[in-house]
Structures are given as C-alpha cells and as structure tokens.
Chain A
Amino acid sequence: MERSDWELVQKCQAGEMDAFQELVSRYHQKVYMVILGLLRNREDALEVAQETFFRAFRKIKSFQGGSSFYTWIYRIAVNLSIDAQRRQKRNPLDFRESMDEVLEAQNEVAKDPFSDVHDKELRQTLLKAINDLTPEHKAVIVLRTIEGLSYKDIGEILGCSEGTVMSRLHYARKKLQYKLSEFL
C-alpha cells in the first residue's frame, strides 16, 4: 500500500532518507514543470527545482502538516522562481537566450494534440505575452494551467486570499487575450 505524503514527511523528520527520496520522486516532474513555466529556461528550471527540494529537506523538521506537502513544496518552488525571475529581468541578455531556447524547444515538440498551437506565430506571441506578465500574475496562470490547482491551493502557495487569486487570474487572462486577440 502506498504511503501518504504525511507519513513520508514524518519518516523524513525521523531521519529516513529513503522517505525523502520517495517524496522527491513523486513531485520532481510537477515541480520542474511549474518552475519551467515561470522561468522559461530548462537549465535554470532544473537548478531551481533541485534547490527547491534541497530547501525542503533542510526545513522538513519545521513542517507541521498544517497544509498539504505539495502546496508547501510548490510554495518554496514559486518563491525561488520569482527570485530567479527577478534576477533574469535584471539581465536582458540571459532573458533573450532563454527565449531562444524555448522557441527552439517548441520545434522539438510537433506532436501536441492542439492543432491551433502548431502555428509558430501564435506560440511566439503567447510565450512573449506570458513573459510580459508580472511574476505574481505568471504564477497564478502557471499553477492553474499546468497543475489545475484550486484557487484555495493557489492562495495557500502564494500566501494570498482566494479572492486575490481570482482577481489576478482575471487580469492575467484579460491581458493575454488582448495580446492574442488576432489569433482568437
């Protein structure tokens, strides 16, 4: 029988490394995808994802189970990503390189099921529009779109109310729709 996250956390707190490894195996892909959605650079995303689990390991003893493990780990991931994103914005050269890399990555994946998105121009406009969002707006869009998290969970991760999540999503979507208006 599969052990719950909370059981694994308790084992980690008792010093069992295997339990922590199992938690990492459960969430590493999801955490990586969220971070990649925020940073748009594979290498940076991998670094931040590993750093996320390292920080979680160091703080695991203070985790009391007040929230679920995944909202806790996403919170660490989003905070580290927002910090990294602000550093990226201060370095336009890095930003340009990361965009090139993402656009290149798009050409590698020609099998996604959404035919509309095959249009290269739409992809580029969409990625640019996402990048132009504020870190907070980008975070709600990514958490909702990739993970399909509830407003309550997103609020817990970002440390804000459900109403704020709703408001940020509304404005972020409105902004994206405006920039994509010619494609929709």
Chain B
Amino acid sequence: MRNCEGIRESIGSWLDGELSAAESESVRAHLVSCTDCGETRRRLEKMQLALKAALISQAPQIEFMSFWRGVERRINQKRAWYDDLLDWSRGLFAAPRVAWMVPAVIGILLVLASTDVWRLGGSRNSFASVESIDAYGRSVALLREQETKTTVIWLYQDQEGENDAAEDTAKSAPTF
C-alpha cells in the first residue's frame, strides 16, 4: 500500500479521473481506510466546488451578435504594416520559439568565461554568472572553476511559488 504522502499527491488527479485503473483503485482503497487522507480529499473537493462557483458565476452571458460585430470589425479593419511586423516580432520572442536564445546565451557566457579580460583584476580565478533568458523565468547559470578546470552549465526555470513545496516529488517531466 502506498504511503499517505504519495496518496495525497494523487488525490487531485484521482478526482479528475486522470489516473490509471490500478492507481485509481490504490487511491480509493487507501481513502476508505485512512481518515487523514479522507479529510484531505474532503477539503480538496470543497475547494474545487468553491473555485468552480467563483469562476463560473462571475461570467455573464455574451450576446452573440454584438460579439460577432466586434470580431467582424477587426477583420474588416485595414491593418497597418507595422502592426503585422509587431505581431511577428512578438511571436519571435514567445515560448517555445525563444528556444534559440538558450544556445546563444550559453555561447556568450562561454566566450566571456574563457576570455582573459576577466583576469585583468588580478585575483579573479573563477567565473560565475546567471543570465535570464526570457520572461517565463528561464535562466542559464554558468560556473567556471579555474583550479580544477571545471565548467558547469545549469539551465533552469524558476517556478515561482513552487519552492515552498520543494519537498514534494514532482511526478512530471521537467517544465523546461
């Protein structure tokens, strides 16, 4: 039988019906016998209900014809050439197209790390730098240790708010 920690991580997916038959049965069986996990399930269900009510009840019904007129107006509006250019350039820097920046930033950092310019200060033997790649929190860190001739390149995504839950084992593939 799986432990409570593992079960609690799966309750949300279980409620969503996203577990395999075997996993689902394992969670169900545990919830029948474990009061604490049963309480976690109750709290999660209550929150889901509140969430649904809050998100759905705030939405007014949109009258179709007035909505359509708005879309049609945009379609018929002649766009300036620079609007198209702006759209194109936005797309260039949006994930996942921004992926071309990763090797570019690594390359620049490697060049900087291997340049003697950094040693002009005299005492600087090692090099460390962190560069943000995009607005989605992706960064690349580079550490070069001169004595052991070691270079470490570290790509990561800063998942804001997930740090407080770092003890949890993420089941997924990395987001980066």
Say yes or no: is A25 at the interface (Cβ < 8 Å to chain B). yes
Contact flags (1/0) for B3-40 with A, using CB distance below 8 Å?
00000010011001010000000000000000000000
- B172 and A161 contact, CB distance less than 8 A: yes
Say yes or no: is B70 at the interface (Cβ < 8 Å to chain A). yes
- A141 and B135 contact, CB distance less than 8 A: no
Say yes or no: is B51 at the interface (Cβ < 8 Å to chain A). yes
- A150 and B18 contact, CB distance less than 8 A: yes
A11-30 residues with Cβ-Cβ distance < 8 A to B are 21, 24-25, 28-29
Contact flags (1/0) for A67-79 with B, using CB distance below 8 Å?
0000000000001
Say yes or no: is B152 at the interface (Cβ < 8 Å to chain A). no
Closest CB in chain A relative to B8 CB, distance in Å: 9
- With both beta carbons as reference points, the residue of chain A lying nearest to B54 in the complex is identified as A126
- A57 and B75 contact, CB distance less than 8 A: yes
Closest CB in chain B relative to A124 CB, distance in Å: 10
- A36 and B51 contact, CB distance less than 8 A: no
- With both beta carbons as reference points, the residue of chain B lying nearest to A25 in the complex is identified as B64
- With both beta carbons as reference points, the residue of chain B lying nearest to A180 in the complex is identified as B47
Number of interface residues of A (CB under 8 A): 68
Say yes or no: is A184 at the interface (Cβ < 8 Å to chain B). yes
- With both beta carbons as reference points, the residue of chain B lying nearest to A55 in the complex is identified as B87
Closest CB in chain A relative to B166 CB, distance in Å: 10
Set A40, A42, A141: member contacting B51, Cβ < 8 A: A141
- B173 and A161 contact, CB distance less than 8 A: yes
- A145 and B44 contact, CB distance less than 8 A: no
Complex: how many Å from CA A68 to CA B67?
23
Contacts of B67 in A (CB 8 A): 24, 28, 32, 46, 49-50
Contacts of A84 in B (CB 8 A): none
- B74 and A163 contact, CB distance less than 8 A: no
Given known contacts A53-B71, A175-B161, A170 and B54 CB-to-CB distance under 8 angstroms: no
Contact flags (1/0) for B68-102 with A, using CB distance below 8 Å?
10110011000000000000001000111000000
- B70 and A46 contact, CB distance less than 8 A: yes
Say yes or no: is B53 at the interface (Cβ < 8 Å to chain A). yes
- A117 and B53 contact, CB distance less than 8 A: yes
Say yes or no: is B170 at the interface (Cβ < 8 Å to chain A). yes
Closest CB in chain A relative to B50 CB, distance in Å: 5
Contacts of B75 in A (CB 8 A): 54, 57
Set B47, B58, B95, B135: member contacting A176, Cβ < 8 A: B47
Given known contacts A33-B56, A151-B16, A174-B165, A166 and B50 CB-to-CB distance under 8 angstroms: no
Set A53, A133, A167: member contacting B171, Cβ < 8 A: A167
- B50 and A126 contact, CB distance less than 8 A: yes
- With both beta carbons as reference points, the residue of chain B lying nearest to A126 in the complex is identified as B54
Contacts of A151 in B (CB 8 A): 13, 16, 18
Given known contacts A116-B46, A116-B50, A177-B47, A166 and B171 CB-to-CB distance under 8 angstroms: yes
Closest CB in chain B relative to A172 CB, distance in Å: 8
Given contacts A134-B159, A169-B16, list 13 more A-B pairs with CB under 8 A: A29-B62, A32-B62, A57-B75, A83-B90, A105-B58, A106-B57, A126-B51, A130-B54, A145-B51, A163-B172, A163-B173, A173-B44, A176-B47
Which residues of A pack against B, CB within 8 Å?
A: 21, 24-25, 28-29, 32-33, 36-37, 40, 42, 46, 49-51, 53-54, 57, 79, 83, 86, 102, 105-106, 109, 112-114, 116-117, 122-123, 126-127, 130, 132-134, 136-137, 141-142, 144-146, 150-151, 159-171, 173-177, 180, 183-184
